[in-house]
Amino acid sequence: MDPIQTLIKDLADKHGRQRESLLPIIQGVVEKENYLSERSMIEIAKEVDLPAADVYGTASFYSFLETKQTGKYIIRVCKTITCSMKGKNQVLFAIIEMLKIKLGETTPDKRFTLLETNCLGWCHKAPAMLINDDVYTDLTPEKVREILSDYMKKDVNHF
Partner 1 sequence: MSNSHQLKRVDFIFRNENDWEKVLSTNIKKQPKDLINELISSELKGRGGAGFPTGLKWKLTAEAESDKKYVICNADEGEPGTFKDREILSRVPYKVLTAMAICGYITGATEGFIYLRGEYKFLQSELQKTIDEFHYYCNEIKLDFSIKIFMGSGAYICGEETALMESMEGRRGEPRNKPPFPTQAGYLGKPTVINNVETLVHSFTIFKYGAKKFYDLGVQYSRGTKLFSVSGDTPKPGIYELELGMSLQDFVYEFGDGDTKAVQVGGASGFLVPRKKFKDAAIGFKGKLTGISLPTGGSMMLFNSSRSMYNVMDNYLEFFREESCGQCTPCRVGCQQLLLGIKAVKRGDKPASYLDKLLRLTETMQLTAKCGLGQSVANSFSSIVENFREEMIY
Complex with partner 1: residue 27 or 98, whichever CB lies closer: 27
133 touches partner 1 by CB under 8 A: yes
Q: SS3 for 146? A: helix
CA distances from 92 to 10, 30, 51, 121, 144 (A): 38, 25, 39, 18, 9
Sign of CA dihedral 98, 30, 4, 153: positive
The full 3-state SS of 78-111, as one line of letters, equals: ECCHHHHHCCHHHHHHHHHHHHCCCCCCECCCCC
The answer for residues whose C-beta is within 8 angstroms of residue 96's C-beta and 6 or more apart is 102, 103, 114
Q: Does 6 bind partner 1 (CB under 8 A)?
A: no
Binding mask 108-127 for partner 1 (x = CB under 8 A): ---------xxxxxxxxxx-
Q: Which stretch binds partner 1 (CB under 8 A): 3-11, 14-22, 102-110, 143-151?
A: 14-22
The CB-of-120 to partner 1 minimum distance in angstroms stands at 5
Please say which residue, 109 or 150, places its beta carbon nearer to partner 1.
Answer: 150
Burial of 144 (0-12, 13-18, 19+ CB in 10 A): buried
Per-residue contact track with partner 1, 72 to 111, x per CB under 8 A?
Answer: -------xxxx-xx--------------------------
Site string for partner 1, 48-77 (x = CB under 8 A): ---------xx--xxxxx------------
Applying CB under 8 A, the residues found at the interface with partner 1 are 18-24, 26-27, 30, 57-58, 61-65, 79-82, 84-85, 117-126, 130, 133-135
